[in-house]
Amino acid sequence: MTEVSFYHLLHLPLNVALPKLLEKVSGAGLRAVVKVGSEDRMKELDHILWTFRKSSFLPHGTMKDKFSEDQPIYLTTGDENPAGATVLILVDSMESDFLDKYDRCLEMFDGTDDAAVTAARVRWKSYKEAGHDLTYWQQTEQGGWSKKA
């Protein structure tokens, strides 16, 4: 079963929190697929991953780029996994039909958006019924994460 971790954004937005999580994934030598809700969101995150730190960037590509199979971080609106990533990151209340193909899934949702919170609760219940290992992380005021369940 896939280990699914819910990340409840409360103080810093996705475009700040996601690069920090991707740094940890990349630092552990893992590859990730980030599934987003729209091409506009994909373009926004693509830009952020190149510019979020002045001294570094996170190597990545999008479904629009060449050499998808070489990308350690891959941004997409679909369910493809061209580089054999073991980590799936879902944002924008996205779901995947291929969750079982990953070791870990990170569900990031905006705690200030009632619809996103409701959708996350529905996915939590569905994952639990499917037998996945679940954890819940709440964002601290400093932007870190506190494990709650």
Residue 11's domain is classified under what CATH number? 3.40.50.10110
Cα-Cα-Cα-Cα dihedral of 38, 15, 89, 42, to 10°?
Answer: 30
The number of distinct structural domains making up the chain is 1
**Tens of pLDDT along the chain (149 residues)?**
899 999 999 999 999 999 999 999 999 999 999 999 999 999 999 999 998 888 878 899 999 988 999 999 999 999 999 999 999 999 999 999 999 999 999 999 999 999 999 999 999 999 999 999 999 999 999 989 999 96
Closest CA to 107 of 58, 121, 23, 48: 121
Closest CA to 77 of 59, 58, 60, 96: 96
Neighbouring CB atoms inside 10 A of 135's CB total 13
CB 55 within 8 A of CB 95: no
Residue 149 confidence (pLDDT):
65
Residue 52 confidence (pLDDT):
87
Q: Which helix (H) or strand (E) holds 6?
A: strand 3-9
Domain limits for position 133: 3-147
Residue 35 confidence (pLDDT):
98
Residue 54 confidence (pLDDT):
81
Reduce the DSSP state of residue 57 to 3 states and report it. Answer: coil
Q: Which amino acid appears at position 13 of this protein? A: P
